[in-house]
Amino acid sequence: MPIGIIVNVFSIFLGGFLGALGGRKMSTVFRNNLNMAFSIASITMGIYTIAPMQNLAAVIFAIIIGTGIGTLLHFGDYIKHGAEWMQKFISRFVSSPMMLDQETFDATLITIIVLFCASGTGIYGSLTEGMNGDATILISKSILDFFTAIIFAANLGYVVALIAVPQFLILMLLFFLAHLIYPLTTPAMLLDFKAAGGILMLASGFRIVQIKMFPTADMIPIMIVVMPISWFWTTIILPLL
């Protein structure tokens, strides 16, 4: 039973619900200060997961190729349309006060969709739990996700809680695919994979406080191409050097 996934999904749903419910009671200064705290937390976690990377060249290639693929396929546009649909769907049942202008609202919503659904920690944690039942990675991630969801829901409303749905589908898919994917990996591939996820978390941290609006949605294919590139680099290229 995927305990870690269930805990992680529930933490986002509950945090999003509580944040939207009590958002008006939080002062602007309080929300802004915690946004900065979560930004630096995301950046710190990104740096922490990037540090053990094994093949810098492979990860760099993955960033360039993955972002290029995402841009060509308009990943960001699809996720933006999905975010707009979620907002319209939730507005049928509850009304959320618009505390941000529409452009900032859309950019922030895309940032947290990527942060919750495509982080290296979440994907790696799902694969690990699917392979050996270890839920500790996802349970640890749930603590930060719970408070992150509260703060973002204070600005964005109940739509944050709805992000738990695509997150559940993505993590469960990885959970069931783990028996196929995990045996094909090497320790170096997994470390490079986690580093790629850390890069997404680093970019998300910059987006949260609008230091630099990296195209994090278009960067999602990095997570798909990084392990094949890592394998190719260590198996084919390095022996030739």
Q: Give tens-digit pLDDT for 113-136.
A: 888 887 767 887 888 888 778 888
Look up the pTM and report it.
0.80
Cα 43 to Cα 20: distance, rounded to the nearest angstrom: 25
pLDDT mean over 160-174: 91
Reported residue count of the chain is 241
At residue 98, the pLDDT reads 53
Q: Is the pLDDT of residue 32 over 80?
A: no
Phi-psi category of 66—alpha, beta or left, where left has phi over 0 and alpha has psi -120 to 50? alpha
Assess whether pLDDT exceeds 60 at residue 186.
yes
Q: How confident is the model at residue 97 (pLDDT cuts 50, 70, 90)?
A: low
**CA–CA gap between residue 11 and residue 150 (Å, rounded):** 10
Q: What is the pLDDT of residues 144-155, one digit of tens each?
A: 889 889 888 888
- Per the listing, tokens 């069931």 go with 176
Q: Is 241 exposed, middle or buried (0-12, 13-18, 19+ CB in 10 A)?
A: exposed
Once rounded to an integer, what is the mean pLDDT over residues 213-240? 90
What is the domain partition of the chain in residue ranges?
A: 3-240
